[in-house]
Each structure stands twice: as structure tokens, then as C-alpha cells.
Amino acid sequence: MAPKIGLFICDCGKTLSQTMDYDSLISDLKKSGKFEFIVRESVLCRSDLEKMLKKLKESKVDKVIVAACTPKLYESTWGHLLEDAGMNYYDLVIANIREQCAWVHKDEPKESVTEKARGLILSAANRAEVLEEIPREKIPITQKVVVIGGGIAGLTAAQELAELGIEVNVIEKKPTVGGLCLELGTVFPTQDCSLCVRTTGCPGLGDGSPRRCIYRANLEFNPKIKFYTNSEVIDVMGDVGNFKVVVKKNPRYVSEEKCIRCNECVKVCPVEVPDDFNLGLTTRKAIYMPFVQAIPQIYAIDPKTCKFEQCKKCVEVCPTDAINLKEKEETFTIDAGSIIIATGFDEYNPALVKEYNYERYPDVITQIEYSIWVMTSG
Ligand code: SF4
Ligand code: SF4
């Protein structure tokens, strides 16, 4: 048996009736025979909600169509109203006759706009006829978040979640967090440090929130945020609300607990290689601090260039036994209710656009190349 369908149609404070002929629309819809009732109102999102509820309780329809504005605005309001009337939240179909009809066709003939609205509502009725009830169930969720990627987006997310009291685990594959923004220097249009966590709080752009950068935000010492550097996610199990995130932590070879940042290891390390953080414009040792303000402030060994057992000079001079050249990777699991993927970006390769003459003229450079040049040229 076909379900009984009720239709509420809204003229949005009579504004939509300037573009559509509601009398003719309702008359046509009545003739279709698809609706148990058709009710026209002007403010279905607010003052007419009580009337809607009363009508639903009295009429005992199976499905409901609301022909009004975008579902993004009031779908949950009407869905919960259905529940108050003893129906299923998902017995609702919304026909968007405002944004997808009246507003986009406001300069077109009223008959055509009305015809489109009629089509949208009848399509919604067809959909309502085949809708099945979806049960809603509550499940306990883990109040922890894993953020994959410790760049500016991941750090911003981590900080804002921590402020809400949520425990956050940031997984970053490099030895330091900050991502590519570390290399950007200052950015247009405020010339603020590119590491600002809240650029919208900057003067001129502002939402009134204080301007903070990842250093001033004290993220490293926030008890709600835990950083896993040199780490990558290798598997995710579970489902929304209860994930198990499997993390592989690659060896840093320097203990985060024991290193006192004395720099003695760097002085004796015989291996000098181009510093990739500075695009190879400077050099660093095989054991190194990624850069002066790195978070965490712990040295790391580059396994691709270190001589390990054939050298061990750093181990010999380290005053706190912080270096373990035999350190192995470890794998562990973190519980998380949500996962944020903020794995960053690569700078665009300007060589792909011939007109830029990027590889032809030495003065045509990218933002990062410019910033690194400024930072390294003193
Ligand atoms: S063991 Fe590796 S990091 Fe340590 S001093 Fe030798 S080359 Fe440098
Ligand atoms: S010598 Fe040891 S304590 Fe000093 S910076 Fe190097 S690893 Fe850290």
C-alpha cells in the first residue's frame, strides 16, 4: 500500500511568492493525488513549528515532505519534529524550492519557476514513497582524536580540540612538527609569521581572537596534546566513534627524555650533508636539530647518512647516554573517536607553466625558495 504523504509548503515570509505562483502550484499538486494534505505556511522554520507538530499528530501520515529552503538549514529541526510526532527522523524529504528554484530563477517567468517547483515537489513525493525507516541508535564513543599530520592545519585542529578538553594525538612523519609552513617565512597579506595558528585573529582579518603562533600557543606543554614525531599511521581499524589507529614510530636514535640539547654530538659528527630543511642552501650533520625552534626540541639522527657502528663518535661524547644507535621501530595502537587527516601539501612546481620561465631566469623563484634565501642569507 502506498504510504500516506503530508506536504508542508513554505513561502519564506511570502518572499518566494514573488517568484512562484503558489495558488497554481498547490492546485496542481492537489490534482496529482499524491498528498494526504497540503499545508501552506510562511515560517515553517520557526513560528509554524507548533502548528506542524499538531497537524502531524492529527493526520498520522507515513511520510512528510517539507518544500522550503535548503536541508542544510533546518533538516534536523524538522527531523526531530517528526520524532516528537512519533515518526522516524528519516520519514522526511525536503524539496528545496528556495535556493534551488526561486532564488536561482528570480529573473525568469513565474510560470517556469512554478513548474520547476512542482517538479521538485513531485520528485520528493516519488522518493518519499520508497523511503524506508532507518533506526537511530546511540553508541558510546571514544573522546579522543587522532590528527594525522603535524603541519599548520593539524596543529590548529589539535589546539582547538584541546581547548574543548579533548585529548589529541598528533602523528607526524618528520622529526619535528610545523610542516611546510615552517619554510614559508611571512605570508601575504598581513606579513604574519606563517606558523600563526589563528591567522583570522590577526589585525585586519580578525575575529577578535588573540593572534597565536605554534610557539606561543605552548602546544608542546599542553597536557591534552601528545605528539608522535617520526611516526606514521600504518592501519586503521574500527568505525566512526571507535577507531583503533595503528602507528609505527620510526627510530629517532636520541632519547626524548635524556637529551639535554648540549650540541656536543653535532661538534664531533664527521658527516656533513645538504640541509633539506633549507633546500640544500646550508649544510647539517648526520645528527642534528631540525631547526632552531623545532618542536620537540630534541636532536635526531638521519639514518640515510649516519655511519652508525663504524663511527659512534656522538655516542662517546653524549653526557647523558641519550643516543641509542640500535634503536628499533615500534608499533602501537591508539584509540580514537575521530580521525582528522591533515597531511599537508606540496609547493606547486612552477616549471609546469612554461610562461613563468622558472628554470630559465634565476630570479624567478617560489615563495619557499625566497623565504629560505632570506633566512639563510642573514
Ligand atoms: S654515529 Fe652517525 S650521527 Fe653519530 S657521529 Fe657518527 S655519523 Fe654522526
Ligand atoms: S650530545 Fe646527547 S644530550 Fe647533547 S645534544 Fe647530543 S644527543 Fe642531546
Give per-residue pLDDT as tens, 330-377: 999 999 999 999 998 888 999 999 999 999 999 999 888 888 887 777
Question: Which is the closest atom of ligand 1 to the Cα of 285?
Answer: 8
Atom 2 of ligand 1: nearest residue by CA position: 306
Residue 269 Cβ < 6 Å to ligand 2? no
At what angle are helices 71-84 and 49-59 packed, to 10 degrees?
50
Residue 253 Cβ < 6 Å to ligand 2? no
The amino acid present at 250, given as its one-letter code, is N
d(CA 244, CA 260): 34
pLDDT over 50 at 202, yes or no: no
CATH architecture of the domain formed by 144-250+330-341: 3-Layer(bba) Sandwich (3.50)
Q: In the chain, where are the structural domains located?
A: 5-130, 144-250+330-341
CA of 258, nearest ligand number: 2
Residue 294's pLDDT band, with cuts at 50, 70 and 90, is confident
Residue 113's Cβ-count burial label (10 Å; 0-12, 13-18, 19+) is buried
Residue 78 Cβ < 6 Å to ligand 2? no
Torsion 220-218-214-295 (CA) sign: negative
Ligand 1 lining (C-beta closer than 6 Å):
268-271, 286-287, 301, 306-308, 311-314
For the segment 154-196, what is each residue's pLDDT rounded down to a tens digit? 988 998 899 899 999 999 999 999 888 877 777 666 666 776 6
Residue 203's pLDDT band, with cuts at 50, 70 and 90, is very low
- What is the pTM for the complete model shown? 0.71
Averaged pLDDT for residues 124-140: 92
CA of 319, nearest ligand number: 2
CA distances from 183 to 187, 294, 332 (A): 11, 12, 31
For the segment 217-263, what is each residue's pLDDT rounded down to a tens digit? 678 888 999 999 999 999 999 999 999 999 999 999 999 899 999 99
Assigned fold of 5-130:
Rossmann fold (3.40.50)
Q: How far, rounded to the nearest angstrom, does the alpha carbon of residue 88 sit from its chain's CA centroid?
A: 31
Alpha-carbon dihedral angle through residues 174, 179, 184, 185, given to the nearest 10 degrees: -80
- Asked whether the domain spanning 144-250+330-341 has the same topology as the one spanning 5-130, the reply is no
Question: Are the beta carbons of 46 and 53 closer than 8 angstroms?
Answer: no
Residue 196: per-residue pLDDT: 63
Atom 5 of ligand 1: nearest residue by CA position: 269
The chain-wide mean pLDDT, for the chain, equals 90
Residue 204: per-residue pLDDT: 47
At what angle are helices 110-130 and 22-32 packed, to 10 degrees?
30
Residue 308: per-residue pLDDT: 97
Averaged pLDDT for residues 297-309: 95
Torsion 248-251-257-259 (CA) sign: negative
Query: Alpha helices, DSSP H only, in the chain?
Result: 22-32, 49-59, 71-84, 110-130, 152-163, 264-268, 313-317, 367-376
**C-alpha of residue 299 to centroid of ligand 1, in Å:** 12
**C-alpha of residue 285 to centroid of ligand 1, in Å:** 8
**C-alpha of residue 318 to centroid of ligand 2, in Å:** 5
Residue 199: per-residue pLDDT: 43
pLDDT over 70 at 56, yes or no: yes
